[in-house]
Amino acid sequence: MSETPVENPVQRETRPRNSRATKALLLRAATSEFAEHGLAGARIDRIAERAGANKRLLYVYFGDKDKLFDIVVQEQITAILAAVPLPDGDLCAFAAARYDYVLAHPEAMRIAAWRSFEQPGATEAETDSFRDRIAATAAAQQAGKLRADIPAVDLFAIVLRLTESWLSAPPALKTAGGEDPMADDRLREHRAAMLAAVRSVTEPR
């Protein structure tokens, strides 16, 4: 009886890989690493280890750590823009969708925080994404759907921060109520309170 040939590790290493799948694994690993450690604290070795890939491929596909961070940030922007639209300037619908998205994707808020701390300058893509939302808010104000006595940029900024009011609150504040701050009931209760505040702030006067 012939024995099944044993695969040589060198042959396994040199076998052509699915570059698209490997890039996706590296990006997913980089997202987790940057969310936990930021740009300065992230390590290429850990990203490669998380992805189960050779770190050389990271440089081949993305250039360096800074460029990889920029790509991850842009992916986060693209994802949240797609998942959290601003239909007809409806800031209540926007607030509900953004709260739900950030709750389901906590890495999005952490990466945004690291981005603001470590690279405070805005990219053109980031500026354009906010410019479009400010324009939608202004159009809704002109149509009488939102209060118009607050500039559109300020009204949008207020609502944006309200969507994060519980998730980014200090730990001591979250635990002051004596209950699990991330329990489902607590999160639903805050969501309802947040939307009530958004309606109060945005309703036409």
Please give the pLDDT value at position 14. 37
pLDDT digits (tens, 9 = 90+) for 33-73: 999 999 999 999 999 999 999 999 999 999 999 999 999 99
Q: What is the pLDDT of residue 19?
A: 86
Classified by CATH at the fold level, domain 84-205 comes out as Tetracycline Repressor; domain 2 (1.10.357)
Please give the structure tokens belonging to residue 186.
């607590």
Q: Residue 13 has what pLDDT?
A: 41
- Regarding predicted confidence, which is higher, 17 or 72? 72
Inform me whether the pLDDT recorded for 183 exceeds 90: yes
Interhelix angle 65-83/55-62, nearest 10 degrees = 70
Query: What's the fold here for domain 9-72?
Result: Arc Repressor Mutant, subunit A (1.10.10)
Q: The whole model's pTM is what?
A: 0.82
| pLDDT mean over 128-155 | 96
Confidence grade of residue 121 (pLDDT, cut at 50, 70, 90)? confident
Of the candidates 112, 39, 51, the residue with the CA atom closest to the CA atom of residue 81: 112
Instruction: Give residue 17's pLDDT.
Output: 56
Sorted by where each begins, the domain ranges of the chain are 9-72, 84-205
165 close to 193: Cβ distance less than 8 angstroms: no
For residue 44, report the phi and psi dihedrals to the nearest 5 degrees.
Answer: -60, -40
The pLDDT > 70 percentage for the chain reads 92
pLDDT on residue 26: 95
CB 205 within 8 A of CB 149: yes
Query: Lowest-pLDDT range, 6-15, 37-46, 148-157, 176-185?
Result: 6-15
Residues for the chain: how many in total?
205
Task: Give dist(CA 194, CA 200) in Å, integer.
Answer: 10
Question: Considering the chain, what is the average pLDDT of its residues?
Answer: 89
